[in-house]
């Protein structure tokens, strides 16, 4: 295939993909469905990709000129390349671990692990898409492990009619899970508090010392890192995520994992 034709095809694919990502994340951001640093990052990356796809020959020509002349320009390009490699390697490593932790068995124990379902936004008195996926994953696990207890974890936000824990609890009851297997933790406002307050319930109710954390797959790594920091032995069962929400939350989680490691 002619080199110019191949380049045009690559540019078209790049621009179209970037436009679709831009539309997706812009709509999520404007509607408040995903107003976070992940959406902003996706929007910025989309705009950069569109500009690069449209002006690729000019950009390549300009880079070649700067490199040819050497000096400060060449050093800047080298530093930018090194930074880009570091970022890409960091993203790759994080992604590998996110996949590895998305469905991980809990450490061996003489008792069934306690299922901890992490809360997410309640919209108009009903679970959001992300929360519904977590509830469905918890129901699946609890059905397969009839002796396991479950802690529904999540406080009430200012725009929520009731706590996320109550939403999880009520939905699991509707699906047929016996109330005697369920506990509610409705004070937490963060993933760390989810883990901390759920651990307190486990100790108070003598539910055992291991847990299976149920959250969306991209969130499992950070949730399990936090649980381990608090001395809670755990595994995870990752819930699915609607494809149009995944880019935004995946990118946000990349920042969250770095923050967790650094802090």
- Is the pLDDT score of 207 beyond 80? yes
pLDDT score, position 24: 96
Task: Give the mean model confidence (pLDDT) for residues 227-253.
Answer: 96
pLDDT tens string 62-72: 999 999 888 88
Closest CA to 221 of 91, 96, 90, 102: 102
Structure tokens at 105: 């068995």
Is the pLDDT at 2 greater than 80? The verdict is no
Token pair of 121 as six digits = 């936004």
Q: What is the pLDDT of residues 120-146, one digit of tens each?
A: 999 999 999 999 999 999 999 999 999
pLDDT band at 256 (very low <50, low <70, confident <90, very high): very high
The pairing of strands 122-123 and 126-127 is antiparallel
How far from each other are the two terminal CA atoms of the chain, in whole angstroms? 51
Tokens of 83: 């930074």
* Residue 74: pLDDT band with limits 50, 70, 90: very high
Structurally, at CATH architecture level, domain 103-262 sits in 3-Layer(aba) Sandwich (3.40)
The pLDDT value recorded for residue 1 is 62
Contact 195, 223 (CB under 8 A): yes
**Nearest residue to 116 (alpha-carbon basis) of 15, 225, 229, 224:** 224
Lowest mean pLDDT among 31-35, 126-130, 217-221, 256-260: 31-35
Q: What is the DSSP letter of 190?
A: S
pLDDT at position 41, please?
Answer: 97
Measure the CA–CA gap between 81 and 45, rounded to whole angstroms: 16
More confident residue, 251 or 5: 251
Of the ranges 2-16, 47-61, 105-119, 127-141, which one carries the lowest mean pLDDT score? 2-16
> Per residue in 132-190, pLDDT tens?
999 999 999 999 999 999 999 999 998 899 999 999 999 999 999 999 999 999 999 99
Query: Do the Cβ atoms of 210 and 234 come closer than 8 Å?
Result: yes
Local structure of 43: helix, strand or coil: helix
What's the predicted TM-score (pTM) here?
A: 0.92
Domain limits, the chain:
1-69, 103-262
């Amino acid at each position: 295939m002619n080199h110019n034709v191949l380049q045009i095809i690559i540019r078209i694919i790049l621009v179209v993909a970037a436009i679709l990502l831009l539309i997706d994340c812009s709509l999520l951001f404007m509607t408040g469905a995903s107003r976070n640093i992940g959406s902003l990052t996706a929007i910025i990356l989309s705009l950069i990709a569109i500009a690069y796809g449209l002006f690729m020959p000019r950009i390549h020509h300009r880079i070649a000129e700067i490199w040819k002349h050497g000096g400060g320009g060449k050093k800047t390009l080298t530093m930018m390349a090194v930074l880009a490699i570091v970022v890409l390697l960091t993203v790759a490593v994080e992604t590998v671990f996110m996949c590895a932790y998305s469905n991980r068995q809990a450490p061996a124990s003489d008792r069934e692990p306690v299922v901890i379902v992490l809360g997410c936004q309640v919209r108009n008195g009903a679970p959001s898409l992300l929360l519904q996926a977590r509830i469905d994953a918890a129901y699946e696990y609890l059905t397969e492990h009839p002796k396991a207890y479950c802690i529904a974890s999540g406080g009430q936000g200012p725009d929520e009619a009731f706590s996320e824990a109550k939403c999880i609890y009520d939905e699991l009851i509707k699906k047929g899970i016996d109330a005697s297997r369920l506990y509610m933790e409705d004070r937490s406002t963060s993933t760390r508090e989810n883990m901390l307050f759920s651990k307190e319930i486990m100790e108070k109710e003598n539910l055992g010392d291991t847990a299976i954390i149920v959250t969306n797959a991209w969130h499992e790594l950070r949730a399990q890192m936090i649980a381990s920091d608090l001395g809670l032995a755990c595994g995870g069962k990752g819930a699915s995520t609607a494809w149009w929400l995944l880019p935004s939350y995946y990118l946000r989680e990349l920042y969250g994992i770095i923050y967790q490691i650094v802090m």
